[in-house]
Structures are given as C-alpha cells and as structure tokens.
Structure 1
Amino acid sequence: MASITKKKHLVVVVGPTAVGKTDLCVQLAKHYQTDIISADSRQFFREMSVGTAKPTPEEQQGIKHYFIDSHSITEEYNAGAYEADVLQLLEELFREKDVVLMTGGSGLYVRAVLEGMDEMPEVDPTIREELTKQCETEGIQPLLEKLEKLDPLYFAQVDKANTQRVVRALEVCLSSGHPYSSYRRSEKQERPFNIIKIGLNRDRAELYSRIDQRMDLMLQQGLLDEVKGLYPYREHNALQTVGYKEIFDYLEGKYDWVEAVRLLKRNSRRYAKRQLTWFTKHPDEYTWFYPQQWEEIVGYIDEQISG
C-alpha cells in the first residue's frame, strides 16, 4: 500500500442501527463523487437481506457499495479477512479517488481497517460448536466462569452479555492453550491515508422509535420466511445475532410470536446501546453529529481534508 499517500482520505461514518447512516452516506458519496464500503458484518451475506436492513438498489441510488452481498452464508468470513480485503480495495480506489467512504455499525470490523487486527491462532471448529451448544442449553454463566479461570484479564474487560465475544475468547483459549488476551496487541497499525471519523446519533426516544418501526417493516417484508430459510445455518456466527436469534428460538418453540416480536424490538434497542458504548469508549476519536446536520458534516470533512 506504499503507493497511497496522506492526500487520500477515508471518511468513516459510524453509529447505532437505524440512525440513518445509509441515507447520509449516499448523499456524501454523491457530493464527493465516490463509493461506499460497508462495514456491517452481516450485510456481507447474500442470504441475509431483510434482517440486516440491507440497502436496496433504490436506496443505493446508483452509488457503488462494496461488501454488500459479497459472500455466502456457507462461507466463514471474519474481521481479519475483511481488513486485508478492504486495504487491497482501498489501494485500487485511491488510484482514482481522493475520498472514499466507509460506513457501518460493526465496531470490530471498523477497528480492523483503521487500526489492524490481532493475529489469532487457528481455532478448532468443534470447540466452537460445543461452546455454542453449551450456551444454548445452560446459558452464558458457565462460559463466563470458564473464561474467568482461563483468561481473567480479558474476563475483566469483556461485555458479559455478548455471547459471541465470550465464545470467541474461550475458543481461542481452548484451541491454543494460551489466554485470548495474549494475542491482543495494543499498538495501532499506521495507515498510509488520512482517516476522518464521524459518529451519528439521535435523541434516544427518536432512535428507539426508528428501531421499532424498522423491526415492524422487517416483519412486513418477510423476516420470518428469511429466517426459516436460514435455519440450517443457525450456528453461523452472523446468525447468532439480533433479528435472527429471536426467531430461531420462536421456531424452536421457546416462546410465542407476540413474545418473539417484543424481544426483537427490545434486543435491537439494547444492541444500539452497545454500539454507542463501543464507539464512545474513546470520546476524542469520533466527532458526533445528528444526521440532519448536513452543512456541519460536510464543513467538518472539508476542514479535515484541507487541514
């Protein structure tokens, strides 16, 4: 990537689900005559459209979007592979463009591109399967107790409600025989382009109302049928997430439809809260705006480009 210079700019737009990232970025892409890289870890998969609120061709408005429908749910795809693929893509895009946009709510994938991914060891897939099954039958508590013994350092930091992260840490511990935290480096990778970070937020009541409306729309658009079609792949990491897990549980008779819809909305609101927590951990990293502050956002980007 030596050919890229600091005169090239990656504008990163993050924020919680349903905040309005797609609409804003399409307008920004038109303004700067550029393309959009998706950093949504579920929109990669062609089979997951309704439950991921994937932008339709109409919503994309002719703007090229990368990493939407780029993979199949039958493939494994992780943040490390995404980092490598995006850096290669940026090298190509920056030959023609001075500004490229990246947007999404998947904090780990955004961080992989901006700072680099930790080198993780190979993981035995049977261990992951066993941990996932244990979590389903016994809940997360036994896994947390195991993690506390194997890696107390990471246990102290991890979001203890995030099943995926707990399972990921444990599978690395059990596969490698070393603590997960020993593979996590603290130094950031230098990138040969300028990074401009923008966060989007809304008033809490407005955001939660938009999330509830989005879930109602997903259900009208056929979320139940989409999840039924994905049932054979339900152990896939991308499907152990809000919008899918609740309906898998409904299909398995764990609760009725009314409860499934209630949990869909509640868990989506909680997910938005976790996303905001991730992106506001270091308050000086992102400059925050409301999506409707178009002039302020463009003014800030232009100032960063010229400065």
Structure 2
Amino acid sequence: EAVSLVEKLFDEGHETLVMTGGSMFYIDAVCNGLDNLPDGDLALRSELWQRLEEEGVEVLAEELRRKDPLTYSQIDTRNSQRVIRALEVCLVSGKPFSSFKTGERRKRSFEIEKVGLTRPREELYSRIDQRVLNMMSEGLVEEVRSLLPYRDCQALQTVGYREIFEYLDGKIPLEEAVRLIQRNTRHYAKKQLTWWRRDPAIRWVEVSGQ
C-alpha cells in the first residue's frame, strides 16, 4: 500500500517525497520489497498468542533464538508481534525465518535516497531518557489506561505500552515502569543503529546539539 501511494503521489506531480520513521523491516520492505514467506497458520498463531499470555514474550523469544539465531539478533525481541510472526514461520515451514529473506531487491519506479541522522551515543541516550519523562508528564499513563480494553491488540505490544500495562496491573511501581521504558528504548535504538550501519546506501548526517 505504501509503494502504491508513493507512485500515485509522483503521478500527481510531486517531485520529492519524504518518508520518515517506521521500523527497520518496514522501511526495508518499502525500499527493497518483501520476501515470499509461507502462508500463515491462524490456529498456530492463536496458540502462540495464548502462550504469550501464559508464558511471556521472553519464553517465545528464547524459542526463536534456538530456531533462528539470526532473526533473534535482528528484531526487537520485546515486540510480541514480531517474535510470534517469526516463530510462526519457523514452526510452519520447519526452516528459519531468516532463510526466506533472500535479499533480492525489487525494482522501484522511483529513485530512493536514504539519509540517516546520527549523534553521539551519550547524547542520544540522554535525549531518549528525557523524551520518556516528557511522555509521562504529557499523560502516557492516562493514555494507556484508556487503552486497557484493547491491550491484546498487536500494535500495543510495544515499548512504552507494555511497561505501563504492567504498572496498571500492579506488577511494578511507576518508577520501575519509567526506568524500563527508558532502558528498552535505548536497547531498541542501539539495535536500529546496528541494523542501519550495514546499509552502505545511507548518507549519515551528524546532528549533535540540534
């Protein structure tokens, strides 16, 4: 859908489009296309989500590590949706999820220029910590509380929501939830940088102090 939208906007006369953010896999899919993965198994997926509730994402992530160490090292293993999807492919096919990623690039009808913003790690981590505090002061707890009826939605199995759900469940104090959000966000940022550093097409721009 994203590629179709980009092509439509170019057809309408736009000369330049800017896409920002998004997960590592999402941006890679837009730029290079998706690999052909096995069809999903709804019954197995339901079983994995049930296991997630009963055993936690750490147990499923460890199973993924044993079956596919490469994918385990590349994805956010605290993201339940990504862990379950990769594990589902492993179990359905009997092969590692990573074995289906051929690296074959799909030709696009438009030119792509990748620009990455970078800053010293200490500064990046400090900004992440402050951003989490800002999110808290701007009502993150109240936002997550309003989403309690939808907590099983896959989009809410991400950093920031998971930790506040645990706080609202009475499992951890609020201070610990904040600390975990900061830590988990730093870990994810580090993984993102490691991933993108492998892409020689990215032109890196230093934005320290900005």
TM-score (norm 1): 0.60
Residue 288 of structure 1 pairs with residue 204 of structure 2: yes
**Structure 1 position 177, deviation (Å):** 5.4
- Aligned residue for 2:112, secondary structure, equals strand
Q: Give the count of matched residue pairs.
A: 206
**Aligned to 2:77, which of 162, 171, 180?**
162
**1:229 paired residue number:** 146
Counterparts of residues 34-113 of structure 1 (less than 5 Å): 85-95=1-11, 96-113=13-30
Question: RMSD between aligned alpha carbons?
Answer: 2.6
1:26-85 Cα deviation digits (max 9, x unpaired): xxxxxxxxxxxxxxxxxxxxxxxxxxxxxxxxxxxxxxxxxxxxxxxxxxxxxxxxxxx1
Matched with 2:126 is: 209
Q: Could you say what secondary structure the match of 2:19 adopts?
A: strand
Between the aligned partners of 1:142 and 1:245, the Cα distance in structure 2 is 16
- Separation in 1, partners of 2:45, 2:145: 23
| 1:250-285 Cα shifts (integer Å, max 9, x gaps) | 112221111111111111111211111121123x22
1:172 aligns with 2:86: no
Please name the residue that 1:196 is paired with: 113
> Relative to 1, partners in 2 of residues 1:231 and 1:123: Cα closer, same or farther, differing over 3 Å?
farther
Amino acid at match of 2:72: V
Distance 2:18 2:209 in 1: 18
Q: Distance in 2 between matches of 1:106 and 1:148?
A: 20
The aligned amino acid for 1:258 is E
Q: CA deviation digits over 1:212-253, x for unaligned, max 9?
A: 221111112211111112222222222111110101111122
Q: Tell me by how many angstroms 1:158 deviates.
A: 2.3
Which is bigger in relative contact order (C-alpha 8 A, separation at least 6)?
1
* CA deviation profile, 1:174-219 (whole Å, cap 9, x unmatched): 3455543443322111112211111001112221221122111111
8 Å CA contact 1:115–1:189 kept in 2: the answer is yes
Q: What SS class does the counterpart of residue 158 from structure 1 fall into?
A: helix
Instruction: Report if aligned partners of 1:105, 1:275 keep a CA contact under 8 Å in 2.
Output: no
Matches within 5 A, 1:236-247: 236-247=153-164
- Are 1:144 and 1:155, in contact at CA under 8 Å, matched by a contact in 2? no
Higher helix fraction: Structure 1 or Structure 2?
Answer: 2
Report the 3-state secondary structure (helix = DSSP H, G, I; strand = E; otherwise coil) of the residue aligned with 1:200.
strand
> Aligned partners of 1:126, 1:250: CA distance in 2, in Å?
31
Aligned letter for 1:232? P
Contact 2:116–2:204 (Cα < 8 Å) also in 1: yes
What secondary structure, in the 3-state scheme, does the structure 2 residue paired with 1:275 have? helix
Conserved? CA contact 2:70–2:98, under 8 Å = no
Q: What is the match of residue 271 of structure 1?
A: 188
Question: Which moves more between the two structures, 130-139 or 166-175?
Answer: 130-139
- The one-letter amino acid paired with 1:88 is S
Gaps of 5+ in 1: 1-84, 295-307
Q: Output the CA distance in 2 between the equivalents of 1:112 and 1:220.
A: 35
> Secondary structure of the residue that 2:147 maps to in structure 1?
helix
- CA 1:180–1:269 in 2, change beyond 3 Å: closer, same or farther? closer
What do residues 105-135 of structure 1 show as CA deviations (whole Å, max 9, x unaligned)? 4111100110001223332344334324434
Greater percentage in strand: 1
Q: Counterpart of 1:272 in 2: which secondary structure?
A: helix
Task: Report SS of the residue matched to 1:97.
Answer: coil
- Structure 2 segments unaligned to the other structure (5+ residues): none
1:198 touches 1:289 (CA, 8 Å); kept in 2?
yes
- Contact 2:167/2:177 (8 A) holds in 1: yes
The two structures have a TM-score, normalised by structure 2, of 0.84
Using the alignment, how far apart are the partners of 1:292 and 1:257 within structure 2? 31
